[in-house]
Amino acid sequence: MTIRINTAGKRAAAVAAVAGTVVAGVFGMSGSANATSTTPTITKLSVHRIATSIGNQLIVVTGTNFDENTISNVKLVDTQNSNASVCTTAPTYIVASPTSLLVKTANDCAVAKSKVGVDIHPTSGSDIVSDPTVAAMALDLVAPPTLFDDDTSVPDAPVFLVNGGSAAPVTVAPMSGGQIVEVKGDGTYHFTTSTAYPLKASIGGVPLTNLALGGCTAGTNCTYFTGKLGSYKAVPANNDLVITANGVTATYHSGSGNSGCVAASSCTGTTHTFTIGDDQLIKLSTPSVPLTGGTITVNGKGFKAATPTVAITGATHATCSNVTVVSDTKLTCDAPANTAGAYPVDVTVGTTHTLDNGTNYLVYSAY
């Protein structure tokens, strides 16, 4: 099969990969499309919403008379603005058959609704542009969600457990599920949900349920949403957060803060630090300490697998000192001084996190 791209050499490798995987795998074809000199037509697009800043999204254009010998380039255009391109970088394309044209988007498109057309520029004659007013050819470019990004703290915490304590957000949960998490936007992105475009989200491959919008003004401009964690059969291989909002999907990797929301050359946003940890929640035998701190006893499991660290996840995210592993299920440590309040305790053993169960926070009080 012959491959043609819009700009010489810039994305040859990417297009070749599409040819090898999408065309061979989806269409089961080999060899060149049948040549024709007849003018192409466009009758249908496979998708009707594309994220503006996520590259390599596939649009299957259905029509007639597609031929690599007679197509010079393909682009996405604003049909209400003299067919001006809506993306800085033109998409790549492959003629899969006389009736199928595969178009892969760039990651630098502008938001545009009800007016985006696929423009096929032939080697001779006039351009052929899809009509976005026809339902089968409607195409919108929509901004994906952008998560909260606090540049004053690394890592960021756009995803955290909702709890009644006064402590800083908890970003680890057990495999048993059932906890409520909050997913926080950057303040300018507004989450919505509708019958046509329902809000969906998952963490580590398990869907969140009971999704509810929050931070709304008069029922709109909602800045976050909450959802209930499902249960996990094992600690997930990754803790990717996948959000489908307003008809487009974006993936946010679990990482160490302040980087692109998905893989390189995709959308702008943040990573998140939320993880699914061990199913065994720790228990605090010492429910409270004075403001000056004190020795606490923690019960759990697996404490001998590696050297544990114990964090009091308050405003300063302080670490306990003098951690002593009494047994595989018991340890003690010295909690540092802190201000009055109830704070979750997070124990890390190797790569496994365990935390208190959300009802027995370590309480600092003035005796």
Q: What is the pLDDT of residues 197-245, one digit of tens each?
A: 999 999 999 999 999 999 999 888 999 999 999 998 888 888 889 999 9
**């952008």: which residue's tokens?**
146
Look at residue 36 and tell me whether its pLDDT is greater than 50.
no
Taking phi first (over 0 means left), then psi (-120 to 50 degrees means alpha), and beta for anything else, what does residue 330 get?
Answer: beta
C-alpha closest to that of 43 among 68, 61, 65? 61
Torsion sign across C-alpha atoms 244, 250, 254, 259: negative
C-alpha closest to that of 352 among 277, 279, 288, 296? 277
- In eight-state DSSP terms, residue 319 is E
pLDDT of residue 103: 97
Mean pLDDT of 111-136: 95
Q: What does each C-alpha distance from 147 to 192, 213, 243 come to in angstroms? A: 14, 15, 11
Considering only residues 37 and 329, tell me which one the structure prediction assigns the higher pLDDT.
329
Question: Which domains are delineated in the chain?
Answer: 12-142 (2.60.40.10), 144-278 (2.60.40), 283-365 (2.60.40.10)
Look at residue 350 and tell me whether its pLDDT is greater than 60.
yes
Query: Would you call 89 exposed, middle or buried from its count of C-beta atoms within 10 A (0-12, 13-18, 19+)?
Result: middle
Considering only residues 227 and 16, tell me which one the structure prediction assigns the higher pLDDT.
227
